[in-house]
Amino acid sequence: MRELYVGLMSGTSLDGVDAVLADLSEGRPRPLAHAHHAFDPRLRQALLELNSPGGNEIERAALAANELAHRYAAAVRDVCSIKGINAAEVRAIGCHGQTLRHRPELGYTVQIGNAALLAELTGIQVVADFRSRDIAAGGQGAPLVAAFHAAMFADADEARAVLNLGGIANVTWLPRADEIRGFDCGPGNCLMDLWAATHLGKTHDQGGDWAIGGSAIPALLERMLAEPYFAAPPPKSTGRDLFNESWLRATLAGGAPPRDVQATLLELTARSASDAIGLFCRGTQRVIVCGGGARNPVLMRRLAALLAPVAIETSDLHGIDAQQVEATAFAWLAKRALASQPAGLPSVTGARGARVLGAVYPR
């Protein structure tokens, strides 16, 4: 008997939503179908603006949430129709939602997406708001994917780290014997995307083609790496709340050739991730990379050089497409919620205990 779930992930990159139809019946989760629906520039801009304080933001957020629910529903319909599945066959949708603020130090995090409307539009029950309960229990509310990474990628004979290169980058450490750890290590693609948007008018630097023609600026890189977040020990999580345009402008402090800045930002992502693995994931033998950054060969080459002799490869070699890992994780988290099984790992988020995560919106 198949147990079908749909996971939805729309991350800090604001690139769009990934939907995965997954069979979670037994053993390792099996993704069956994937769809990526890109956000149009207007929605992306509206969401970007909602990431910092502004006028009438309650109504703007509510309307953006409704719009997201329609995008999410379309992506759900898409993955179901690829496999000829109807709504009644899907047990639940696990919906991460779109983060507008992530402030665990103030006791809150906000992901929007109007789960009630999503349930109404799809006729499928929805599990949403996975982060709040972990924060209520004193945790970071992030990263929540560590338990899923363990289910997918842990190996009894090898200490592994999973590196998710989304807008923000996060690491899950899967040692052979010790406790699992996980944390956001810093910017993934978000600063590179921001700079590419400013200077190329594009959503991102496809293939790292622009960055590779520039040279990283050592003094600028050192200023960026001096950000205290990087050296702080886990548990820790971050977002656009820290790594945003103001952060970038403050470290830039003056003019530099734009292409060299892009090369520096790519180096920042590679250095902060490889430094974090060296510092906090001692003894790692293999790094498995997922998220959109896995599709940037220039970034992957820099990571390989910095991590050598540790092996590095994308999750594609471990049975799951790099772009599908996080969405599949939220399908898996929905199943945990409905089974009343805890899903956050206190060793990762720093919560007082493992809690059942998510709020259920019935069919």
Ligand X SMILES: Nc1ncnc2c1ncn2[C@@H]1O[C@H](COP(=O)(O)OP(=O)(O)O)[C@@H](O)[C@H]1O
Nearest distance from C-beta of residue 178 to ligand X, angstroms: 27
Task: For residue 221, count CB atoms less than 10 angstroms from its CB and return exposed for 0-12, middle for 13-18, buried for 19 or more.
Answer: middle
Please choose which of Mg ion, ligand X, none residue 167 contacts, taking the beta carbon within 5 to 8 angstroms, the exact cut-off set by kind: ligand X
The smaller minimum CB distance to ligand X, of residues 132 and 262, is found at 262
Please choose which of ligand X, Mg ion, none residue 12 contacts, taking the beta carbon within 5 to 8 angstroms, the exact cut-off set by kind: ligand X
DSSP letter at 318 equals G
Binding range to ligand X, per CB under 6 A, among 81-89, 138-146, 147-155, 201-209: 201-209
Buried b (16+ CB within 10 A) or exposed e, 164-182: bbbbbbbbbbbbeeeebbb
Binding range to ligand X, per CB under 6 A, among 77-85, 119-127, 204-212, 229-237: 204-212
Q: Binding to ligand X by residue 207, rule CB under 6 A?
A: yes
Of 4, 5, 11, 175, which lies in the binding site for Mg ion, with binding defined by CB under 5 A? Answer: 11
Total number of residues binding Mg ion (CB under 5 A)?
Answer: 3
Q: How far apart are CA 37 and CA 114, in angstroms?
A: 17
Q: Three-class SS of residue 209?
A: helix
Please choose which of Mg ion, ligand X, none residue 237 contacts, taking the beta carbon within 5 to 8 angstroms, the exact cut-off set by kind: none
Q: Binding to Mg ion by residue 15, rule CB under 5 A?
A: yes
Nearest distance from C-beta of residue 99 to Mg ion, angstroms: 11
What residues from 48 to 77 belong to the interface with ligand X (CB under 6 A)? none
Q: Binding to ligand X by residue 213, rule CB under 6 A?
A: no
Query: Alpha helices, DSSP H only, in 83-145?
Result: 115-122, 132-136
- Residues 284-303, one symbol each (x = binds ligand X by CB under 6 A, - = not), give -------xxx-xx-------
Q: Binding to Mg ion by residue 13, rule CB under 5 A?
A: yes
Q: Binding to ligand X by residue 238, rule CB under 6 A?
A: no
152 phi/psi in degrees, rounded to 5: -90, -40
The smaller minimum CB distance to Mg ion, of residues 190 and 220, is found at 190
Q: Binding to ligand X by residue 189, rule CB under 6 A?
A: yes
Nearest distance from C-beta of residue 320 to ligand X, angstroms: 13
Q: Which long-range contacts (CB under 8 A, 24 or more apart) does 41-49 make?
A: 43/67, 43/68, 43/71, 44/14, 44/15, 44/203, 47/14, 47/98, 47/100, 48/14
Alpha-carbon distances of 139 from 143, 291, 346, rounded to whole Å: 10, 24, 7
The smaller minimum CB distance to ligand X, of residues 11 and 358, is found at 11
- Smallest Cα–Cα separation from 190: which of 246, 224, 240? 240
Nearest distance from C-beta of residue 325 to ligand X, angstroms: 8
Please choose which of ligand X, Mg ion, none residue 291 contacts, taking the beta carbon within 5 to 8 angstroms, the exact cut-off set by kind: ligand X
DSSP letter at 155 equals B
Q: Binding to ligand X by residue 235, rule CB under 6 A?
A: no
Q: Binding to ligand X by residue 172, rule CB under 6 A?
A: no
Q: Binding to ligand X by residue 167, rule CB under 6 A?
A: yes
- Helix (H) / strand (E) element for 6: namely strand 4-9
The smaller minimum CB distance to ligand X, of residues 9 and 20, is found at 9
Query: Alpha helices, DSSP H only, in 137-238?
Result: 146-153, 190-200, 209-212, 218-225, 228-231
Q: Binding to ligand X by residue 11, rule CB under 6 A?
A: yes
Q: Which residue is nearest to ligand X (CB)?
A: 292
Q: Note whether 21 and 105 are within 8 A (CB).
A: no
Q: Note whether 343 and 142 are within 8 A (CB).
A: no
Q: What share of the chain is helix, strand, coil (3-state, %, to 5)?
A: 45, 20, 35
For the chain, the maximum distance between any two Cα atoms, rounded to a whole number of angstroms, is 61
Task: State the residues that interact with Mg ion by CB under 5 A.
Answer: 11, 13, 15
Binding site for ligand X (CB under 6 A): 9, 11-13, 15, 166-167, 189, 193, 204-208, 291-293, 295-296, 326
